[in-house]
Amino acid sequence: MTAIAEGITALNRLLFALAKWLVYAIVLLMLWEVLSRYLVQAPTSWAPELATLIFGPFFLLGGPYLLHIGGHVAVDVLSERATGGFAKILKIIGFILAAAFGAILLWFAVPLAVQSWEYGETSYSAWNPVIWPAKAFLPLASALLLLQALAEIVLTLGDEEAA
């Protein structure tokens, strides 16, 4: 089980490492938009919208790995003072809640993404791109968050130093 949990973490680490480069694409798109708008007085209709569509996967693919490294906002008044087995129990409860959140999000995100794909949903803007690829990242990231939370439970239970 530990090998599977470490594999899930490695996958999320890889996806995080790839997704963080998307911020550079967003910066370049916005730079292009600003230069087009103010230097040549020819604003684009597509650059801001594409930057927004890229931001979704950037944001979503970071979540599962941030769960592993403890990068999410947390209220740790109690858990910071806890030691031994109680600290381990608190960690596991937190990961169970994260898994429940991922499962609920997955449950509601899959039908939305499938419907968007089936209808060939577009943004209805002047540029009007299809948006199902961006929407598909929500169930993917939800599944990865669920898997990472389960992996963290396995890793916490297997970690003798956390006890």
Q: Which two tokens stand for residue 53?
A: 């569509």
Would you say 162 and 87 are in contact if contact means Cβ atoms under 8 Å apart?
A: yes
- Residue 103's nearest CA partner among 139, 155, 130, 67 is 139
The DSSP 8-state label assigned to residue 40 in this structure reads S
- How far apart (Å, rounded) are the C-alpha atoms in residues 134 and 151? 26
Distance CA 91, CA 89 (A): 5
pLDDT tens digits, one per residue of 8-51? 999 999 999 999 999 999 999 999 999 999 999 999 999 999 99
Closest by alpha carbon to 140, among 71, 60, 58? 60
Q: What does pTM read for this prediction?
A: 0.88
- Helix, strand or coil for residue 122? strand
CA distance 76 to 90: 10
Dihedral sign computed on CA atoms, order 159, 97, 114, 16: negative
Q: Which carries the bigger pLDDT value, residue 81 or residue 151?
A: 151
Mind listing the pLDDT tens digit for each residue in 76-135? Answer: 777 777 788 888 898 999 999 999 999 999 999 999 999 999 999 999 999 999 999 999
Coil, strand or helix at 130: strand
Q: Which residue type occupies 68?
A: H
Rounded distance between C-alpha atoms, residue 90 and residue 98, angstroms: 12
Please give the pLDDT value at position 80.
77
Q: Which two tokens stand for residue 121?
A: 């949903």
